[in-house]
Amino acid sequence: MTWLKPVSIDAGAQSSYAAFFQDLETRLADPATDRYRLARELLAEAMYGRSYEALQADAPLAALNLDARNITFEAEYYMATDTARFERVKPLLWLWKSMDLTPMGQNPVFGIPLRRILAGHIFKSVGRDFKCWQNVEFSVGYNMEVGDDVVVHRNVLLDDIGGIELHDGASVSDYVNIYSHTHSVLDGPDVTLRRTIIGRGARLTYHSTILAGSVVSDDAMLATHALLRGDIPPHGIAMGLPARVTRMKIRPPQDGYRVVAAEWPHEAGRKANPLFPDPTPNQTRLPDGDPALEKVLSQK
């Protein structure tokens, strides 16, 4: 049972919002809709209170930056990004990101339903009642798989270039970073993609970080400021840097586990840069036995 209480607003405002969302959903579902044009029109109205054409006449530089054809995302510079797939979601990502900077985006009654609609046209899949707060960043968006009743809080980074799964009821707290790619220690351009899995009912708490390829099982929890570079079993609570399972929830075994880290088919990793096609070998060692390094460390 939820601990949140219902909040109501003026009926006239709610009716106006509902009409806007219905129109937006209809336009996005129409294959003939020019998503770039749609996004720039909505941003001009939301940010400047005028049509895009009027803004173009009065403030051409401002208008240019509302049109996603005239801006770039970091993902566009990377070989791992599927150009065709990103082209389709790019204007919607720009609309999402830019609307978050407006009073409309900061208003949960408007912003959350707007993001829910956009997610349905950006993500690989999204379930019912997705709740996403403001200022959440994606790498590409199209590699997100989100279940039912998932909550993502403010200022979260979802690096989905290699794929992220958030299963039913998963909760992602403020400032969490979830990654799905890694860099070689010796060669930064040697990038490996690994899908990261967050199980059903799992909780990732404030400022925690999940590295690529990690599997957080159903009903598991990652503690505040923890850094996970592995797995957490069902009902496990992982803490620390790096995170270790130090507690287990006192809860009877449940039926129907979907994500159990010990049984999950972990990916070997997909190479993102054709210049580095081979699996990345182990590239580090402990400093023990290196006289030069021990001398440097002893001087600190």
Q: Which pTM does this prediction carry?
A: 0.94
300 pLDDT above the threshold of 60: no
Distance CA 260, CA 119 (A): 27
What average pLDDT does this structure show over 185-213?
Answer: 97
**Per-residue pLDDT reduced to its tens digit, 237-291:** 999 999 999 999 999 888 889 999 999 999 889 999 999 999 888 888 877 767 7
Q: Find tokens 């995302």 and name the residue.
A: 73
Distance CA 157, CA 200 (A): 20
List all residues 6 or more positions away from 73 whose beta carbon is below 8 Å from its beta carbon: 86, 90, 93, 94
As a whole-number percent, the residues of the chain with pLDDT over 70 amount to 96
> How many CB atoms sit inside 10 A of residue 135's CB?
16
The two three-digit tokens of residue 216, written as one number: 């957080």
What is the strand order of the sheet 144-146 is part of?
125-126, 144-146, 164-166, 196-198, 215-216, 231-232
CA 265 to mean position of chain CA atoms: 22
The two three-digit tokens of residue 282, written as one number: 């182990």
Q: State the average pLDDT for the chain.
A: 94
pLDDT value at residue 47: 97
Q: Find tokens 């996403």 and name the residue.
A: 132
pLDDT value at residue 4: 82
β-strand partners of 191? 183
* Residue ranges covered by each domain of the chain: 22-122, 123-300
Please tell me which residue, 56 or 288, carries the higher pLDDT value: 56
pLDDT band at 294 (very low <50, low <70, confident <90, very high): low
Long-range contacts of 281-289 (CB under 8 A, 24+ apart): 283/184, 283/185, 283/186, 284/185
Distance CA 201, CA 222 (A): 12
DSSP, collapsed to helix, strand or coil, labels residue 131 as strand
2 pLDDT above the threshold of 70: no
pLDDT band at 3 (very low <50, low <70, confident <90, very high): confident
Q: Do 110 and 17 contact (CB within 8 A), yes or no?
A: yes
CA 56 to mean position of chain CA atoms: 32
**Per-residue pLDDT reduced to its tens digit, 79-95:** 999 999 999 999 999 99
pLDDT value at residue 298: 65
Q: Calculate ∠ Cα 256-259-264, nearest 5°.
A: 125
13 pLDDT above the threshold of 70: yes
69 pLDDT above the threshold of 80: yes
What average pLDDT does this structure show over 173-186?
Answer: 96
Domain 123-300 class, CATH top level: mainly beta
Distance CA 277, CA 232 (A): 30
1 pLDDT above the threshold of 70: no
The two three-digit tokens of residue 174, written as one number: 């403020």
pLDDT value at residue 182: 96
pLDDT band at 60 (very low <50, low <70, confident <90, very high): very high
